[in-house]
């Protein structure tokens, strides 16, 4: 357009002389939503490689795959958080080209590390199996466990990203009306709340409810071969105050598995052996633990339990399972002159009871022991039966946590046998914390061993030179390779010194070691006696120390060991 006189000529297109400002460095390198974290990937692959090292018990390829997946996603989360913290400080980020190269290098190193660790891990698994006296063959599928782990990690990462998208969706409308930091805080809290409600309210609660209903239904079914012995010394029999059907699946099995006088006499070579008493109160017998405890006392009275030399409280799992080896060994060791009693507090098996019923298990045992102690104290001392308590695994936890301390246990009872106590058992924690300097965490020396003794082998009991300080001995049975006892312990402490059945390459890794210990819970019972969570070798000698100090004859202990060897775990 021509300008008239006295006018200034301008460009009618405003974009002709206007250039787009170059993007700032911070804008150019700002992290795109959805981009994977380089630090997360690096730490996740590092954790995955570390997962191949041996832990306390051998792992199958499926379990190892789950472990690898958990290690990848845990490492990724920690690494991603570290990367986020770095960016928050507004420190220089990698240029795009350098980042691409870093990812390529990480991919190559990651694949190589996973393949090498799988190969070495399979070799270490074979060595560990040999150490525990197992078949050294390890399936070749073990080499594929990293692939399973990667698949699990991808699935978990996808779920995590879904939660992140939900958080951004909550933030978006808030960010237009509120200060950014306030909006993010509200979005974070809301996302965490919704996620927790979905997990706890929808998934976990529903799963537990379904499981409880399922196990409640199976509570009415019997194990193969279980029949009512119809003995005057057993619950559900002619002298019993409770019906056979009310005992539950595990209660009926416990009653069925009880020994007879003839069976005991044959093993211990004592024609004077008597029929032991077994009493059990099922969950449906009463609505509270206090009421069930009173029923248990009445049941013992009806069955003649207070006429025996000893009464033993057996701590069971939620469903009522009681280790038949420990119960039968006690009946052999006392030549039948004992009454064993227990109560059910749930329908759930051990691993689910651990999650939701731990407090109920301790309350259940406490109420029963208290009711019995009150009843026993009414009997003249020279006519009063001894009171023993015992339990394995979650049963050891419920028994131990029924007392305020090991001293309380010693003064309340006449002896206790706690087999493979879980690491969260407070009385076991007390013993470990108060151990003498230099004694290992898996076999702590408590004082001069006059009240409490911890045994991993028979020699730990038979080799003692000091007598018991009281007539109320407490014995814990543990193994260095038992992950249930070691689970939440300080792993570096647990390995110093290292037990004889622990592989030399077991390492107290930060984070990874805890994940290894967690998955080890599922393999604790898959090892030979004398290792892991299998205590067949020491149960008989332990009862011998408790009920017949200075102990039963060696030949009798050996006979009891043989008699219980084939019983199920």
- pLDDT for the residue numbered 25: 40
- Given a contact cutoff of 8 angstroms between Cβ atoms, the answer to whether 50 and 71 are in contact is yes
Task: Determine the average pLDDT of the residues in 385-412.
Answer: 95
Share of the chain above pLDDT 90, in %: 68
- pLDDT for the residue numbered 34: 59
Q: Where are the alpha helices (DSSP H) in 201-276?
A: 205-218, 248-256, 261-268
Does residue 5 surpass a pLDDT of 50? no
Does residue 178 surpass a pLDDT of 80? yes
Does residue 4 surpass a pLDDT of 60? no
CA distances in angstroms from 161 to 72, 133, 157, 164, listed in the order given: 15, 45, 6, 5
Burial class (CB in 10 A: 0-12, 13-18, 19+), 399: buried
For 218-222, 327-331, 399-403, which range has the lowest pLDDT when averaged over its residues?
218-222
- CA–CA gap between residue 156 and residue 57 (Å, rounded): 26
CA distances in angstroms from 390 to 89, 277, 402, listed in the order given: 57, 16, 11
Confidence of residue 24 (pLDDT cuts 50, 70, 90): very low
pLDDT in tens, 199-212: 766 666 666 666 66
Does residue 175 surpass a pLDDT of 90? no
- The dihedral sign for the CA sequence 65, 519, 160, 510: negative
Does residue 216 surpass a pLDDT of 80? no
- The dihedral sign for the CA sequence 365, 419, 447, 489: negative
Does residue 8 surpass a pLDDT of 60? no
Does residue 463 surpass a pLDDT of 70? yes
For 183-187, 226-230, 317-321, 545-549, which range has the lowest pLDDT when averaged over its residues?
317-321
Does residue 136 surpass a pLDDT of 70? yes
- Given a contact cutoff of 8 angstroms between Cβ atoms, the answer to whether 279 and 250 are in contact is no
Does residue 305 surpass a pLDDT of 70? yes
- pLDDT for the residue numbered 98: 93
- CA–CA gap between residue 294 and residue 242 (Å, rounded): 12
- Neighbouring residues of 359: CB distance < 8 A, sequence distance ≥ 6: none
Confidence of residue 23 (pLDDT cuts 50, 70, 90): very low
- CA–CA gap between residue 518 and residue 525 (Å, rounded): 14
- CA–CA gap between residue 473 and residue 505 (Å, rounded): 36
Extract the tokens encoding 226.
């279980």
- pLDDT for the residue numbered 20: 40
Confidence of residue 351 (pLDDT cuts 50, 70, 90): low
- CA–CA gap between residue 9 and residue 332 (Å, rounded): 115
CB atoms within 10 A of CB 116: 12
- pLDDT for the residue numbered 145: 95
Task: Determine the average pLDDT of the residues in 497-503.
Answer: 96
Does residue 13 surpass a pLDDT of 90? no
- Given a contact cutoff of 8 angstroms between Cβ atoms, the answer to whether 38 and 86 are in contact is no
Does residue 476 surpass a pLDDT of 70? yes
Does residue 29 surpass a pLDDT of 60? no
Task: Determine the average pLDDT of the residues in 413-438.
Answer: 95
Extract the tokens encoding 175.
């960010």
pLDDT in tens, 538-554: 999 999 999 987 779 99
- pLDDT for the residue numbered 431: 96
pLDDT: is 427 or 184 the higher one?
427
- CA–CA gap between residue 117 and residue 101 (Å, rounded): 24
- In angstroms, what is the C-alpha Rg of the chain? 31
- CA–CA gap between residue 400 and residue 441 (Å, rounded): 18
Closest CA to 480 of 492, 498, 463: 498
Task: Determine the average pLDDT of the residues in 163-177.
Answer: 88
Q: Which residues of 466-476 are buried (b: 16+ CB within 10 A; e: fewer)?
A: eebeeebbbbb
Does residue 374 surpass a pLDDT of 70? yes
Extract the tokens encoding 419.
């087999």
Does residue 288 surpass a pLDDT of 80? yes
- pLDDT for the residue numbered 22: 42
Task: Determine the average pLDDT of the residues in 242-260.
Answer: 95
**Strand ranges (E), 88-231:** none
- pLDDT for the residue numbered 177: 86
Does residue 265 surpass a pLDDT of 60? yes
Residue 89's SS3 state is: coil
The average confidence (pLDDT) of the chain is 88
**What's the chain's length in residues?**
569
| Mode of pairing for the β-strands spanning 310-315 and 415-419 | unpaired
Closest CA to 237 of 290, 305, 294: 305
- pLDDT for the residue numbered 380: 96
- pLDDT for the residue numbered 205: 65
Share of the chain above pLDDT 70, in %: 88
- Given a contact cutoff of 8 angstroms between Cβ atoms, the answer to whether 539 and 564 are in contact is yes
């Amino acid at each position: 357009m021509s300008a008239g006189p006295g006018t200034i000529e301008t460009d009618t297109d405003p974009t002709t002389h206007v250039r787009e400002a170059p993007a700032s460095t911070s804008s150019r390198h700002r992290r795109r939503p959805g981009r994977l974290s380089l630090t997360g990937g690096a730490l996740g692959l590092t954790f995955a490689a570390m997962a191949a090292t041996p832990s306390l018990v051998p792992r199958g390829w499926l379990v190892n795959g789950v472990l690898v997946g958990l290690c990848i996603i845990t490492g990724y989360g920690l690494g991603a958080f570290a990367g986020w913290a770095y960016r928050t400080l507004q420190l220089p980020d990698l240029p795009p080209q350098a980042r691409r190269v870093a990812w390529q290098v990480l991919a190559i190193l990651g694949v190589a590390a996973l393949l090498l660790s799988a190969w070495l891990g399979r070799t270490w698994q074979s060595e560990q199996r040999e150490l525990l006296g197992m078949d050294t063959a390890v399936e070749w599928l073990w080499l594929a466990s990293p692939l399973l782990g990667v698949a699990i990690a991808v699935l978990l990462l996808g779920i995590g990203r879904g939660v992140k998208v939900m958080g951004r969706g909550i933030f978006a409308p808030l960010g237009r009306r509120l200060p950014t930091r306030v909006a993010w805080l509200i979005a974070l809290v809301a996302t965490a709340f919704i996620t927790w409600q979905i997990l706890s309210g929808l998934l976990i609660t529903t799963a537990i409810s379904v499981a409880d209903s399922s196990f409640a239904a199976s509570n009415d079914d019997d194990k193969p071969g279980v029949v009512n012995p119809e003995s005057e010394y057993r619950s559900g029999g002619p002298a019993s105050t409770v019906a056979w059907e009310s005992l539950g699946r595990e209660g009926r099995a416990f009653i069925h598995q009880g020994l007879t006088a003839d069976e005991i006499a044959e093993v211990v070579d004592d024609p004077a052996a008597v029929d032991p008493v077994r009493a059990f109160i099922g969950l449906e017998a009463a609505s509270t633990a206090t009421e069930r405890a009173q029923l248990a006392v009445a049941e013992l009275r009806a069955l003649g339990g207070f006429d025996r030399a000893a009464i033993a409280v057996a701590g069971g799992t939620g469903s009522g399972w009681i280790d038949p080896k420990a119960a039968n060994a006690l009946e052999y060791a006392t030549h039948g002159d004992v009454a064993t009693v227990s109560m059910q507090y749930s329908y759930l098996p051990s691993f689910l009871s651990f999650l939701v019923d731990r407090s109920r298990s301790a309350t259940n045992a406490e109420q029963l022991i208290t009711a019995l102690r009150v009843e026993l104290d009414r009997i003249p001392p020279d006519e009063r039966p001894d009171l023993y308590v015992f339990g394995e695994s979650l049963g050891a936890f419920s028994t131990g946590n029924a007392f305020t301390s090991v001293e309380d246990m010693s003064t309340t009872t006449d002896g206790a046998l706690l087999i493979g106590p879980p690491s969260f058992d407070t009385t076991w924690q007390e013993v470990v914390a108060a151990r003498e300097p230099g004694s290992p965490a898996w076999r702590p020396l408590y004082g001069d061993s006059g009240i409490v003794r911890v045994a991993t082998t028979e020699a730990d009991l038979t080799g003692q030179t000091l007598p018991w300080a009281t007539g109320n001995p407490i014995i814990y049975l543990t193994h260095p390779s038992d992950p249930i006892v070691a689970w939440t312990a300080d792993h570096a402490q647990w390995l110093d010194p290292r037990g004889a059945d622990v592989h030399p390459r077991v390492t107290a890794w930060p984070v990874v070691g805890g994940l290894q210990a967690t998955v080890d819970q599922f393999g604790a019972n898959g090892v030979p006696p004398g290792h892991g969570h299998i205590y067949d070798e020491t149960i008989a000698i332990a009862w011998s120390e408790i009920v017949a100090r200075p102990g039963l004859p060696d030949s009798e202990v050996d006979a009891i060991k043989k008699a219980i060897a084939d019983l199920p775990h």
